[in-house]
């Protein structure tokens, strides 16, 4: 039985954008379908807004290519066909991201009103604006993007030809890495790089790293960034004190990276797709244009913990580790999401939820970059893995309790304990407070389960600023976890 891969896109939007060149786009689909056949993958194209196309898959077409319609369509399609891979084709002007409500939105603080996300397409939950509705990822989903606002057929041809030509390479090839971190996050990134590659000797700090890397440096097949990034910005930035040098320019990778490169970028807005005519050519688009095959990054402002590892550190390193463990790029992301939920759960604070939603992959999710180590003793079909991942995802969804922001803030019952934590972590007592509540379903049965999971768990968040050198401020977020009985713990997330 051949493995099924569905390419989902909008005929109307492609026709509007590409005009007479739409025929050439369809020819690229045809070439990919033929190439996938040799990989024992049956690939089909589904036009969400074409009645004939949709009907041939047993689903109804949509009248408008809007978020809800797209989510409903993808769900219906998945139920009918249970594909191993779902490929969204096109940037956000062809097929929308799901714009989820950002629960930590606060003007001049976290300015992202929404989190553009592909997570809902991967989840077994109906359409919603809430990130908390999507804590059960079960599907392998990725996006082959074109360039927003721009009709560039040569770009698409290059992406498709790269996908078609791809063959898995030995792990040793992907163990060579290019990694850059903002100097201030050196220790955290060393841990991430060590977890992935078993050493961090090749990790570069920025500063002193300031772009302009050699072809030899950028030629490594695995790339990892833990730098600053900005909305509609074509650069990543390092940091040491008040010095924020450009750590990578979009054009730095031009003609310098190797075919088959995989990227994980923790940076804020690290995987944003921009219209070159108005905003510049994004780093993600530049990587794909220069023969990278998979780019994993964030749509919005990303977070990390004060010390050690957490949030963006985790989901990015999980992805890269999974790629190295011979997973397809799409499965690498799905398993990273599941592992992230297991690591953070069962109670999910609002920063963990934002992290889960904001990372996506660009590139064909069916590409397995690292070749399997053949074994006579073990055999596992793609379909068996999908069944397992579906069950795991459903199970995870039932085992976590995502938090929601409460409108009316109730005072803590543990004033003395919270005061002590504020004092110990250097936070003042008069800081503004936000409260998020998480609880398991009211259907929870069994006396012990009710006793352990019946009540509400609250996250109280506080922010403070601290003067650093040259007048720079460093803001920290304290998240205190409590229930009615006691304070359960706390974490500090620091601007990195």
Partner 1 sequence: MELKGKVVMKKFGKGSKSEHDAVYLETEKGDFVLRQVGANAFENTELKKLVGKEVIANGMVKDYLFLAKTIKEADQ
Give me the residues that bind partner 1 (CB under 8 A), please.
106-111, 226, 228-233, 235, 237, 239, 242-244, 246, 266-269, 278-279, 301-304, 312, 463, 465, 471-477, 493-496
CB of 275 to partner 1, least distance (A): 10
6 vs 336 by CB, closer to partner 1: 336
CB of 473 to partner 1, least distance (A): 5
b/e map 161-195, b = 16+ CB within 10 Å: ebbbebebbebebbbebbbbbbbbbeebbbebbeb
121 vs 224 by CB, closer to partner 1: 224
Count of beta carbons in the 10 Å neighbourhood of residue 372: 12
For residues 221 and 173, the answer to whether their CB atoms sit within 8 Å is yes
CB of 232 to partner 1, least distance (A): 6
74 vs 267 by CB, closer to partner 1: 267
CB of 237 to partner 1, least distance (A): 5
CB of 263 to partner 1, least distance (A): 16
444 vs 465 by CB, closer to partner 1: 465
- Positive or negative CA dihedral for 242, 102, 231, 190? positive
- Positive or negative CA dihedral for 463, 467, 473, 476? negative
CB of 429 to partner 1, least distance (A): 18
CB of 446 to partner 1, least distance (A): 38
CB of 374 to partner 1, least distance (A): 40
Q: Which two tokens stand for residue 156?
A: 């698409």
For residues 304 and 188, the answer to whether their CB atoms sit within 8 Å is yes
Q: What is the largest CA-CA distance in the chain?
A: 70
CB of 235 to partner 1, least distance (A): 7
CB of 304 to partner 1, least distance (A): 6
326 vs 472 by CB, closer to partner 1: 472
69 vs 433 by CB, closer to partner 1: 433
CB of 351 to partner 1, least distance (A): 8
Distance CA 403, CA 252 (A): 40
CB of 68 to partner 1, least distance (A): 22
Q: Which two tokens stand for residue 293?
A: 């095959």
CB of 303 to partner 1, least distance (A): 5
98 vs 239 by CB, closer to partner 1: 239
Distance CA 299, CA 355 (A): 10
b/e map 88-112, b = 16+ CB within 10 Å: bbbbbbbbbbbebebbbbeeeebeb
Q: Which two tokens stand for residue 124?
A: 């077994």
65 vs 182 by CB, closer to partner 1: 182
Inter-CA distances, 300 with 113, 179, 266, Å: 10, 21, 10
Q: Where are the beta strands (DSSP E) in 382-432?
A: 401-402, 404-405
For residues 238 and 207, the answer to whether their CB atoms sit within 8 Å is yes
What 417-421 contacts at long range (C-beta under 8 Å, 24+ apart), as own/partner pairs, is 417/482, 417/486, 417/487, 418/460, 418/480, 418/482, 418/487, 421/478, 421/480, 421/487, 421/490
Q: Which two tokens stand for residue 240?
A: 């040491």
Alpha helices in 8-152 (DSSP H): 11-18, 22-38, 51-56, 67-81
Distance CA 163, CA 294 (A): 10
52 vs 278 by CB, closer to partner 1: 278
46 vs 273 by CB, closer to partner 1: 273
Contacts of 321 (CB under 8 A, 6+ apart): 195, 196
26 vs 240 by CB, closer to partner 1: 240
99 vs 173 by CB, closer to partner 1: 99
The burial class, CB within 10 Å (0-12 / 13-18 / 19+), for 204 is middle
Task: Name the residue among 452, 349, 443 with its Cα closest to residue 104.
Answer: 349
226 vs 290 by CB, closer to partner 1: 226
């Amino acid at each position: 039985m051949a493995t099924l891969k569905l390419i989902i896109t909008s005929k109307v939007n492609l026709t509007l954008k590409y005009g007479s060149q739409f025929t050439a786009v369809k020819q690229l689909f045809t070439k990919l379908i033929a190439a996938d056949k040799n990989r024992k993958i049956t690939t089909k194209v589904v036009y969400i807004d074409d009645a004939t196309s949709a009907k041939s898959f047993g689903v109804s077409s949509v009248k408008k290519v809007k978020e809800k319609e797209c989510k409903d369509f993808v769900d219906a399609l998945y139920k009918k066909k249970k594909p191993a891979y779902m490929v969204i084709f096109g940037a956000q002007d062809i097929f929308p991201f799901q714009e989820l409500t950002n629960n930590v939105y606060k003007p001049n603080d976290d300015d992202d009103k929404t989190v553009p996300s592909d997570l809902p397409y991967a989840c077994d939950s109906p359409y919603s604006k809430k990130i908390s509705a999507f804590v059960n990822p079960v599907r392998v989903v990725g996006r082959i993007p074109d360039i927003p606002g721009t009709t560039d057929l040569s770009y698409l041809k290059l992406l498709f030809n790269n996908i078609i030509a791809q063959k898995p390479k030995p792990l040793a090839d992907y163990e060579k890495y290019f990694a850059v971190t903002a100097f201030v996050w050196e220790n955290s990134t060393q841990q991430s790089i060590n977890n992935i590659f078993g050493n961090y000797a090749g990790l570069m700090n920025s500063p002193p790293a300031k772009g302009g890397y050699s072809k030899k440096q950028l030629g490594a097949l695995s790339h990892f960034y833990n730098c600053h990034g900005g909305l509609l910005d074509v650069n990543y930035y390092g940091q040491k004190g008040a010095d924020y040098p450009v750590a990578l320019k979009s054009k730095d990778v031009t003609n310098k990276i190797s075919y088959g490169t995989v990227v994980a970028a923790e940076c804020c807005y690290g995987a944003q797709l921009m219209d070159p005519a108005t905003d510049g050519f994004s780093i993600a688009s530049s990587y794909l244009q220069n023969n990278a095959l998979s780019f994993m990054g964030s749509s919005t402002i990303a977070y990390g913990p004060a010390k050690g590892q957490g949030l963006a550190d985790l989901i990015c390193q999980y992805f890269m580790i999974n790629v190295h463990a011979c997973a397809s790029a799409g499965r690498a992301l799905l398993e990273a999401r599941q592992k992230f939920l297991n690591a953070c759960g069962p109670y999910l604070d609002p920063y963990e939820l934002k992290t889960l939603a904001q990372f996506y992959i660009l590139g064909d999710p069916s590409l397995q970059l690292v070749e399997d180590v053949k074994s006579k003793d073990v055999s596992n079909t793609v379909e068996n893995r999908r069944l397992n991942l579906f069950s795991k995802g459903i199970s995870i969804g039932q085992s976590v309790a995502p938090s929601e922001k409460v409108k009316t803030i109730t005072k803590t019952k543990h004033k003395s304990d919270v005061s002590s934590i504020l004092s110990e972590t250097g936070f003042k007592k008069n800081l503004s407070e936000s409260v998020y509540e998480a609880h398991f379903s009211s259907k929870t049965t069994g006396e012990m389960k009710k006793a352990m999971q019946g009540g509400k768990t609250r996250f109280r968040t506080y922010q403070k600023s601290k003067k650093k050198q040259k007048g720079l401020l460093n803001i920290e977020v304290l998240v205190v976890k409590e229930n009615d009985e006691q304070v359960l713990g706390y974490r500090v997330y620091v601007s990195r």
